[in-house]
Amino acid sequence: MVVLRGVSKVYSESGLPHAVLKNVDADIKHGEFVALLGRSGSGKSTLLNLIGGLDLPTSGTLRVNGRDIGALAEKERALYRRAEVGFVFQFFNLIPTLSVTENLLLVLELNGIENQVAQGRIDSALRELNLLERAKQFPDRLSGGEQQRVAIARATIHRPLLVLADEPTGNLDVHSEQDVLRLFRRLPDRHGVTVITATHSTEVAAGADRILVLADGRLEEQSP
């Protein structure tokens, strides 16, 4: 699903080059749940942004489902992000002026899913996540764990190939973290989605199929 060959990312800091990623190689299979570990500033978010098409590598090749993401034009990358990738963030990033249902419906409308099909998907997703009774609520009326479950539904409801999660349990208590981990574990089995999550949580990492560790700009595999 994801192939990186010699991927580097260099930023300019005070006029000097700073290499965040250095010749990174990796292969992530379809349907895998991969945990990405590393200290703050190690490049975890940068790597997710590259895979998600939010940024481009300075050098090297990055392919997702056979396509060279770095070779896509900006419009093509926008369509790739919209249709094939789901993003989950530490701070949920739900739209506060939209209800739970409306937050999910927006994603489906952007992907051209007709209303009847969209409503069926929303009802199914909320039922699976035990959130049907919260469908008309606004995000500020939900707990942190409930908001993150809605965020996961939003990231997956358009049936992407890939879900990228950046510290998705960073603001959750232990119980809510376990709920989120169970959801991530189910995604590959039920929906065939490949999940890559950057995390500091040893619980989340222990539940992954594979652990990749970023240190000094390089990526190494660690046994779960």
What confidence tens digit (pLDDT) does each residue in 52-74 have?
999 999 999 999 999 999 999 99
**This prediction's pTM:** 0.90
Domains defined for the chain, CATH in brackets: 33-56+79-222 (3.40.50.300)
**What pLDDT does 224 receive?**
62
Confidence of residue 171 (pLDDT cuts 50, 70, 90): confident
The answer to whether 113 and 160 are in contact (CB under 8 A) is no
Cβ neighbors of 189 (< 8 A, separation 6 or more) are 31
Stated as kind and residue range, the H or E segment containing 210 is: strand 210-215
Query: For the segment 4-14, what is each residue's pLDDT rounded down to a tens digit?
Result: 999 999 998 88
The answer to whether 49 and 55 are in contact (CB under 8 A) is yes
Q: β-strands 67-68, 59-64: how paired?
A: antiparallel
Q: β-strands 59-64, 162-166: how paired?
A: unpaired
pLDDT > 70? residue 180:
yes
Query: For the segment 66-108, what is each residue's pLDDT rounded down to a tens digit?
Result: 999 999 999 999 999 999 999 998 888 999 999 999 999 999 9
